Amino acid sequence: MESTSTLIAHNPKFKCELVTRPELARYVPPVGTSTWRPVPHAELVGNIVDQLADFGIGIKREQYAVGKAGLALFGTMDLQNGYRNDNRGMSLGFRHSNDRDIAIQLVGGARVFVCDNLALSGEKIALRKHSRGLHLAQLIREGLGRFLDAFKRFDASIVDAESRVISDDEAKVKLFDLRYQGVLPVSIFDEAAQNYFRAEQLGYEDSAPRTAWGLHNAATRAVKALAPTSQFRVLTDLGRSFFPNN
């Protein structure tokens, strides 16, 4: 599985620009009130990085976009998860703004898509308004704990799928069900089938095993032909279909 934490900054409402982590320090939030506590972007990211480190998790790749005259922050991180297979693609996405418009939101999962048009997708792990009683480090620590517990279950489901042998007839039925249920778009149905049934000829080692995981990989390979926003929706639906207990 590929790690695909994606950040797109295109909504004219936010007028975002991509920045580096050190550059976040130059964005100073407005003064708070007795009931509202703005959070500097650098403080939010610093807390996330520190809490990840406490869990023994490093960052492989990070992206940040700042918009709304410096008040809004959108970010993604691809993580080094330390599990059995580092290719599991554990990722984290987050957003917030210091104008009382966007609450602090963190999402996590095997795949994350964060977009500044407010289409935030993924497994929600933390959500909190910028209230005076906000305990940022605690919020992030508890959210990451839930995220890691969920990822352990997801990883176990992948291990199960890797060992679950299926017949060609079962694979055909599964592909048909994915199309019938609207999970797999008709535009990539044939490609997904070819990726699985002709995996060896095409050189797709990840799709070659006659297992549920091999079929899943064949479908996700086909998804790459879709637009980014459609990719996340379809990949999420595929995950729910192949791993319904997560």
Burial of 164 (0-12, 13-18, 19+ CB in 10 A): middle
Same domain, 131 and 208: no
Same domain, 177 and 213: yes
Q: Cα separation of 124 and 93, whole Å? A: 9
Q: What is the pTM of this model?
A: 0.64
Same domain, 50 and 114: yes
Q: Which tens digits make up the pLDDT trace of 119-133?
A: 334 566 766 666 666
Sequence-distant (≥ 6) Cβ neighbours of residue 170 within 8 angstroms: none
pLDDT band at 105 (very low <50, low <70, confident <90, very high): confident
Domain boundary among 119, 139, 158: 158
- What is the pLDDT, as a whole number, of residue 88? 59
For residue 63, the cross-strand partners are: 76
Tokens of 193: 């089938």
pLDDT for 114 beyond 60: no
In this predicted model, which residue has the larger pLDDT, 220 or 2? 220
Q: Which tens digits make up the pLDDT trace of 141-166?
A: 988 888 888 777 777 888 899 899 99
Same domain, 40 and 69: yes
Domain boundary among 158, 182, 215: 158
Same domain, 44 and 23: yes
Instruction: List the beta strands (DSSP E) in the chain.
Output: 4-8, 17-19, 58-67, 72-80, 91-97, 104-115, 121-128
Residue 139 Cα to chain centre, angstroms = 19
Domain boundary among 158, 187, 221: 158
Same domain, 143 and 22: yes
Tokens of 117: 């048009």
- What is the pLDDT, as a whole number, of residue 164? 96
Q: Cα separation of 232 and 8, whole Å? A: 13
pLDDT for 246 beyond 90: no
- What is the pLDDT, as a whole number, of residue 49? 95
Q: What is the DSSP-derived secondary structure letter of residue 131? A: B
Same domain, 11 and 105: yes
Q: Which tens digits make up the pLDDT trace of 26-45?
A: 998 888 888 888 899 999 99
Same domain, 128 and 177: no
Q: Cα separation of 64 and 94, whole Å? A: 10
In this predicted model, which residue has the larger pLDDT, 23 or 86? 23
Same domain, 178 and 151: no
- What is the pLDDT, as a whole number, of residue 92? 83
Same domain, 73 and 172: no
Burial of 20 (0-12, 13-18, 19+ CB in 10 A): exposed
> What residue has token string 């899943």?
216
Domain span including residue 190: 164-242
